[in-house]
Amino acid sequence: SGRSEGRDAASLDRLQSIFVSEQQQFRVVVLRLTEETLHLSRRALDLESIGQLHNSLEALLCDIGPVRVDLTKEIDKLL
């Protein structure tokens, strides 16, 4: 049926756009982590800076969380 094919195509388009946005977010995360790592490696690694890196990582994971949830919901709809 043409209608369900159209709906499936729309779902796939939406899924693809979510994948793309997630991919972009991961690129940003990797860049930020690389900058953090370079910054930390330029100075002595003390406990405080390790704690800051840990906090940065946790914040970045929180940023990624909602996108992963959206992606999972969309995949569930398609299955």
pLDDT in tens, 5-50: 777 888 888 888 888 888 888 888 888 888 887 777 776 666 677 7
The verdict on pTM exceeding 0.75 is: no
pLDDT-based confidence at residue 2 (cuts at 50, 70, 90): low
Residues 6+ apart with CB under 8 A from 25: 63, 64, 67
* Residue 29 near residue 53, CB atoms below 8 Å: no
Residue ranges making up the domain that contains 32: 2-78
How many domains does the structure of the chain reveal? 1
d(CA 17, CA 23): 10
CB 69 within 8 A of CB 25: no
Closest CA to 57 of 41, 24, 33: 33
